[in-house]
Amino acid sequence: MADVKKVLVLPGDGIGPEVMTQVRRIMAWLEDAGKVKFEVTEGLLGGAAIDATGGPMPEETLTAAKASDAVLLGAVGGPKWDDLPFDIKPERGLLGIRKELGLFANLRPAVVFDALAEASTLKLDIVKGLDIMIVRELTGGIYFGQPRGIETLPDGTRKGLNSLVYTTPEITRIGKVAMDLAMKRGKRVCSVDKANVLECTVLWREEMIKLQQEQYPEIDLTHMYVDNASMQLVRNPKQFDVMVTTNMFGDILSDCAAMLTGSLGMLPSASLGDADAQGKRYALYEPVHGSAPDIAGQNLANPLATILSFTMMLRYSFDMMAEADLIEQAIQNVLNAGIRTGDIMQEGATKVGTVEMGDAVLKEMDALAKG
């Protein structure tokens, strides 16, 4: 009997639903192969939820997420909801579910596939073979710090305020995630902060040093100011193995790292909570790209980032390494064969749509499974 895995699927907005359809086909393939049984629930988040329920994060979605082994999200947001009040924008749904599930660790790998190295705007030798992991703190920092808001002062002028706050347990737990990951990779962690200006990140740096000294003697820990880190990412990205940083710095640096790989359309992410006594942890997987409303519904979107987010789910939530390897190998073969969606199109390659990219990956999975 195959194991039953409960997955909550949140297609979201824009290209979310169509890329998710391709992942559902891959899930069906794994089931047909007898590898696993998925119990899939579909839910609403972001704009889709606003339209149906009036708010971006329905209680039902949260309950379903908590009852699932893992959540797979497409993308949220779009111009249709841009003028809504701040508190009910689609993005609040995403931030809300991260916070409610305690998904403090955001893993954003930036891997350059050989076949795509030339699609990068950087020179080939700078990016070829790149494999870095950005670990972004996701439920704290300036995104959630109090006090916050916009107020009118007695003289009639206005003041906008956000607070950068981190406590030692918040810093230590994200540091551990980064160092544990590094132990399985190149054993190098670069912690990114702004300790020359911001006290909060002076504490961040001190706690990272303490953690390394007390628990990770084998880790080579270095520190970088965020402005320098952004420069180093485009100057010589291969100097990094694992980077660990705050919520906002991670938001910015991960977009930058994404472009090293040639396209946002290739990058997956995992957001993980703490493991409970039984080892179960909440987890949400989503592509780094947005909802791309300009190309939605036209069979133009690249489904690979969402498919790769699903393989992260297989690895981090279900311990299904062989299946994750198989899918990733299939993707590599497809790219090596010159099959491309528009975002990664190169001269001489074959341009395909969302569905055809799904077809191609499934066909390669068939071929690999037959040996």
Q: Which two tokens stand for residue 196?
A: 């020359």
The string of DSSP letters for 103-168 reads: --EEEEEEE--GGGGGGSSS-HHHHTT-EEEEEEE-SSGGGT-SS-EEEE-TTS-EEEE------H
Which one of residues 95, 198, 209, 355 is an interface residue with ligand IPM (CB under 6 A)?
Answer: 95
Give the footprint of ligand IPM on residues 107-136 (CB under 6 A): none
Query: CB under 6 A: which stretch of 66-74, 90-98, 217-225, 334-342 binds ligand IPM?
Result: 90-98
Q: State the number of binding residues for ligand IPM (CB under 6 A).
A: 4
State yes or no: is 294 an active-site residue. Answer: no
Query: CB under 5 A: which stretch of 25-33, 98-106, 247-255, 355-363 binds Mg ion?
Result: 247-255
CB 233 within 8 A of CB 112: no
| CA-wise closest residue to 271 among 30, 73, 67 | 73
State yes or no: is 143 an active-site residue. Answer: yes
In the complex with Mg ion, the residue whose CB is nearer, 180 or 251, is: 251
In the complex with Mg ion, the residue whose CB is nearer, 118 or 251, is: 251
Q: How far apart are CA 25 and CA 356, in angstroms?
A: 12
Query: CB under 6 A: which stretch of 91-99, 163-171, 211-219, 225-233 binds ligand IPM?
Result: 91-99
Q: Which does 328 bind (CB under 5 to 8 A by kind): ligand IPM, Mg ion, none?
A: none
CB 68 within 8 A of CB 313: no
Q: How far apart are CA 248 and CA 222, in angstroms?
A: 20
CB 190 within 8 A of CB 250: no
State yes or no: is 255 an active-site residue. Answer: yes
Rule CB under 5 A: is residue 118 a binding residue for Mg ion?
no
Q: Which does 283 bind (CB under 5 to 8 A by kind): ligand IPM, Mg ion, none?
A: none
State yes or no: is 251 an active-site residue. Answer: yes
Choosing from 194, 241, 285, 343, the catalytic residue is: 194
CB 71 within 8 A of CB 40: no
In the complex with Mg ion, the residue whose CB is nearer, 71 or 257, is: 257
Q: How far apart are CA 163 and CA 167, in angstroms?
A: 13
Q: How far is CA 278 from CA 21, 91, 95, 141, 336, in A?
A: 32, 32, 26, 29, 41
Choosing from 251, 325, 351, 363, the catalytic residue is: 251
Which one of residues 91, 100, 251, 356 is an interface residue with Mg ion (CB under 5 A)?
Answer: 251
The string of DSSP letters for 198-225 reads: -HHHHHHHHHHHHHHHHH-TT-EEEEEE
Rule CB under 6 A: is residue 91 a binding residue for ligand IPM?
yes
Rule CB under 6 A: is residue 100 a binding residue for ligand IPM?
no
Give least dist CB 77 to ligand IPM, A.
6
State yes or no: is 227 an active-site residue. Answer: yes
In the complex with Mg ion, the residue whose CB is nearer, 251 or 359, is: 251
Cα dihedral value 147, 149, 152, 153, nearest 10: 30
Residue with tokens 């592509």: 287
Rule CB under 6 A: is residue 267 a binding residue for ligand IPM?
no
Residue ranges binding Mg ion (CB under 5 A): 251
Contact footprint for ligand IPM (CB under 6 A): 91, 94-95, 251
Positions marked active-site: 143, 194, 227, 251, 255
